[in-house]
A and B are shown apart, each in its own frame.
Chain A
């Protein structure tokens, strides 16, 4: 497996594209700032959202029981899945029991997490992603590179070429409006003939058994209302107690994600349509293990707004695919290492951060993302996963920093050494830091020496 830095290096090969990616996401971040600033009570909303999510985590069993009871009263069928494999099988079973062939899906990070598309394809079921960005990457057989803007790594030329091949649009056509129309026609046909529609879930309301889905394109509704069978897939943490709490989250979500005051559609599905079926699948897949961890459970508060990605200097310059995990960026970094219970994976991701704290500052539910990254680094070093060189350096420097005299002497030695040691020794493979960077010019004296001479006047 390649590492984050190797994959980032691949992304960085095209500097123009990297600049475009960087600047475009920064524009989204600025739109978010404007939207947030236009709401005077913004900080209060964040505080309430954070506290509400903490409350939810404290009473998951109670809220899920209440939700299940009310959803069942509404005529929904509630299913439970302990892990990804079981989730996939539940979906397949529903599809098989209906002899359904045409399946449409609107955005759901949970189905990405569980690998649903590939599972269904392996079982001969064709599933069509209907969000424009998701359809684009499905055509390219790629994972999303951002949780809100799945095709942000692509330019319109890439998409024009792709649509020319897949949808027969004019060769060389790159006009976004023209390409979007072509996708509309193509996907409309899929909607109108759909047998089963799948969606993710933004919020599930315990007090009335309703699931809420937010989209701009209207694809969740086009699918759900066309197909006789609708399936909503959610992680256990999506639950909120009451309808009135939706106000807090809907005021935050779109403003924080794209800078819009609200998504175009905020859809509330409560009962099945006439002669239709409504299924809700509630999935654990490692969430209860995270809930048991005081250090890392806060990540379960996430409402998937994507703001931490847009603001992250590493994400913006390395691209979503460099993370190699379903969810990229800062939130992906804190989810990935413990994403499979009992294992430690993606050990290099916590290093892919500058700890600038920007992610925590924009997070609408106040997850201390940078704190968790820091904790992960400590845990990984403690468990012996840090690189050998880094560990050796930290050990030595810990020893040296603890003894002022040693520190002074070694400082002098390094200043001399850096001048006389041949370049190939300093910029060797051991020092990966030096691969892309030059050391600053070596000063002739230490700060301490300089201060002794100049500091007093």
Chain B
């Protein structure tokens, strides 16, 4: 610990000296982000679904009242994490147990981003952080009114409410490490279904 604190001191001392000799404080200020916002013409909704398709996700658009039936018919046996009563069953489970039990998982997302199809989920959406990744099939629900235009709007919404862990998920897990051939299902979910909720 001693040695590490000494390194901390040395590093800060060197930064201070570099900053003085380098003169890099000259004329630099924290930049306002004017002009970086998305200027796309299309509606957020259309761009969102386009981006999701590009990212390899399946899309369904449903009225809220039809969703339960849709899920139970299309994904029988799915673990529906919208129901917080079942969270206790999964808390503290070993990864291998989670792997055995969570083949298909339903999670309610908080923000959808039009420009890239990413959906924000965080600690308040699931009982264990591993669940969105260990499931072979992932189903994310997102309200139509939760779709924002770009990452600027998304982070503006998240900044104040960031919990212990959060992730933007855009499509199923993928890799192209073998000759640049795209393969879904590298380590995380093999498929992603997104249900956009209307009304």
Contact = CB atoms under 8 A, between A and B. Distances in A.
A54 B40 CA distance: 28
A442 interface: no
Contacts of B118: 262, 266
B162 A221 contact: no
A314 to B, nearest CB: 20
Contact of B188 (A74, A217, A242, A258): A217
Interface residues of A, number: 100
A180 B183 contact: yes
Contact of B175 (A192, A216, A261, A274): A216
B99 A133 contact: no
A57 B129 CA distance: 34
Contact of B177 (A133, A265, A271, A291): A133
Q: Which of B29, B96, B180 has the most CB of A within 10 A?
A: B180
Contacts of A90: 4
A261 B115 contact: yes
Nearest to A25: B180
A160 to B, nearest CB: 9
Interface stretch (B14-22, B63-71, B73-81, B103-111): B14-22
Nearest to A217: B186
B37 A41 contact: yes
Contact of A208 (B91, B132, B162, B178): B162
A170 interface: no
Interface string A283-305: 01000110111100100000000
B179 A156 contact: yes
B179 to A, nearest CB: 5
Contacts of B33: 48, 244-245, 247-248
A191 B134 CA distance: 10
A150 B17 CA distance: 36
B18 A288 contact: yes
A39 interface: yes
Contact of A261 (B51, B154, B167, B186): B51
B150 A192 contact: no
B167 A266 contact: yes
A142 interface: no
A261 B54 contact: yes
A250 B91 CA distance: 32
Contacts of B54: 261
Interface stretch (A181-189, A352-360, A381-389): A181-189
A125 interface: no
The 7 closest A-B pairs by CB, nearest first: A218-B188, A271-B164, A217-B186, A133-B177, A261-B116, A292-B18, A288-B14
Interface of A: 24, 27-28, 39-41, 44-45, 48, 51-52, 54-55, 57-61, 64-65, 74, 79-82, 86, 90, 130-133, 136, 149-152, 154-156, 159, 176-177, 179-181, 183-184, 187-188, 191-193, 208, 210, 216-219, 221-222, 224-226, 236, 241-248, 250-251, 258, 260-275, 282, 284, 288-289, 291-294, 297
Given A224-B129, A265-B173, 18 more contacts: A51-B28, A61-B12, A74-B164, A86-B4, A176-B181, A184-B185, A184-B187, A216-B173, A218-B186, A222-B187, A222-B188, A226-B95, A248-B36, A264-B170, A272-B164, A291-B15, A292-B14, A297-B18
